[in-house]
Chains A and B, each alone.
With several copies, the nearest count.
Chain A
Amino acid sequence: MARAAERRLIAPDTEPEGRPEELRLLEALLFASAEPLDEKTLAHRLPAGVDVADALKRLQVEYATRGVNLVRVAGKWTFRTASDLAWLMTHEAVQPRKLSRAGIETLAVIAYHQPVTRMEIEEVRGVMMSRGTIDVLLETGWIRPRGRRKAPGRPITYGTTETFLSHFGLESLNDLPGLDELKGSGLLDARLPAGFTVPVPSDDPALRDDEDPLEPGDLDFGLAPPPERVEKG
């Protein structure tokens, strides 16, 4: 004990060979253990005669400036990443995600029918829209609320963005195939009833006659009320 203390006074790190074996043992035990260990357990595992408390303190000092520190949690000892390196312990990853079928269908309707309200989308699709669908599309950055329809309830109108064009490799919305092209490519059945039309879409940012500008609060949809919920008003 006295010897160890003395050694510490001289130079803790200059003589790695002179480093007491118990520090190696503690290091290994604490490193491999699945949970923090208390001094009693450590003492039990170490050769008799080792002053565990003293050795732990020395080890703690040794590791104090390192990227990993020896810390005491609820009376037990464990190695932990230095707290100033928390930033290093996060990993930001881009995760490709495929849009759901409802998402892609809604997006398609918005693209062709814009500016379009939620109710109009539902009418074209023939199904009610789940709350999250518009949220996800807003998150993609491919659609944006562009105004409010001058109609009862003043519903929000949606349109596509420039990001939309660049993601789908379109120079402009005019590049979206029309009725004849859709038929020609086989995407649309040739036996469609007369009077079936595909709108000529436009993402002209200028509001239409039946649109009002958005109000200040309309764009605050961070975590806040999803726009389509507002729409019900």
Chain B
Amino acid sequence: MSDNVLPFADITGIDRATDEPALMVDVEGFEGPLDLLLMLARQQKVDLAKISILALADQFLAFIEAARKLRLELAADYLVMAAWLAYLKSRLLLPDLNAPEGQSAEDLATALAYRLKRLEAFREVAGKLLALPQLSREIFHRGNPEAIAEIKHPLWTATLYDLLSAYALQRQKKALGNVRVPQRTVWSLAEARAALEKLIGAAVDWTCLDEYLIAYVVEPAHAATVMASSFAATLEMVREGVLDMHQHTAFAPIYVRKHTDSVAAKSKGAPAPGAKND
């Protein structure tokens, strides 16, 4: 309602219900109808307790009328307040003997005066509160606090239930897992290669690859993987010129030897690098 004139209201601090239409009238920086009423009351320059509610209602209604003549759209709560004050005024002026039970017009007027007084009182204490010396503004704490070294002693916790369920779950998982794929022992290329390099380093003459490999095949089940990995490693090493390899015919044993320049020079044309030819 009055956001555009509040110098210190930032966007998030604007008081407006989200469902209200955007701002309509410049009510001169008032924080709502009660605030406007308070200002009008202040203009009467009397104790709020002795304020003439009737006069106040007139002033407020006049203000609203003026705004309407200017075709200014007023926030809903101003209009609600205006309606309420018009009602209050009529009851104050024409005491209705058949008025409904409950609060009299005087009670309503007193209630309004009370609300004005309360708003003013909160304004005042808000000012006092903000005037207090504030931390990091007027007073300061230690700028360079010294850390208190925390020595943590872990206290391990676990419950018997944790323990038992962990046990049962593990055992059960294993016992019931009828389609268990046993973990395959797979040689990595690097492993095979390292093993080969170690061996080839010792053998200068043509040697059968199978011979090398068999030494590593602890279990027959591992023969295939070891063979595959080692062969791949061998090809890699041939490509790098570390090794020469040689196979007479398809499915024949594969021979390898350490590649040296002298050997390569002598046996030129024998095993072509990187191929299972000859």
Contact = CB atoms under 8 A, between A and B. Distances in A.
Interface of A: 28, 31-36, 78-83, 86, 89-105, 107-109, 111-112, 124-133, 135-136, 139-140, 142, 166-170, 176-179, 181-182, 185, 187-189, 191-193, 196, 198
Contacts of B154: 94-97, 139
Given A95-B154, A102-B15, A187-B118, A31 B142 contact: yes
Given A97-B156, A100-B9, A192 B133 contact: no
B134 A167 contact: yes
Which of B119, B155, B156 has the largest count of A CB atoms less than 10 A from its CB?
B156
A92 B143 contact: yes
B136 A185 contact: no
B16 A130 contact: yes
A182 B13 contact: no
A124 B138 contact: no
Contacts of B6: 100-101
Contacts of A89: 138-140, 146-149
Contact of B171 (A82, A132, A169, A198): A198
Contact of B151 (A90, A99, A187): A90
15 contacts: A32-B140, A89-B148, A92-B152, A93-B138, A96-B157, A100-B14, A112-B167, A124-B122, A126-B115, A126-B173, A127-B31, A169-B135, A185-B117, A187-B122, A196-B175
B121 A97 contact: no
B31 to A, nearest CB: 6
> 3 closest Cβ contacts across the A-B interface?
A126-B34, A127-B32, A100-B13
Contacts, number: 305
Contact of B34 (A79, A127, A132, A192): A127
Contacts of A130: 12-18
Contacts of A101: 6, 8-9, 13, 31, 166
A95 B136 CA distance: 8
Interface in B53-108: 77, 81, 107
Nearest to A190: B118
Given A91-B150, A131-B18, A107 B135 contact: no
A93 B174 CA distance: 40
Contacts of A94: 136-137, 152-155
Which of B12, B18, B134, B154 has the largest count of A CB atoms less than 10 A from its CB?
B12
A102 B170 contact: no
B47 interface: no
A97 B134 CA distance: 12
Contact of B114 (A98, A128, A192, A198): A192
B121 A185 contact: yes
Nearest to B76: A128
Nearest to A197: B171
A33 B31 contact: no
B153 A95 contact: yes
A93 B136 contact: yes
Given A33-B144, A109-B167, A102 B13 contact: yes
B162 to A, nearest CB: 5
B164 A108 contact: yes
Nearest to A29: B148
A107 B163 contact: yes
Interface string B237-265: 00000000000000000000000000000
B157 to A, nearest CB: 5
Nearest to A131: B18
A96 B126 CA distance: 16
B136 A108 contact: no
Contacts of B124: 178
B125 interface: yes
Contact of B140 (A31, A95, A126, A179): A31
Nearest to A195: B175
A111 B136 contact: no
Contacts of B107: 192
Nearest to A92: B151
B130 interface: yes
A91 B119 contact: no
Given A112-B122, A182-B164, A125 B139 contact: no
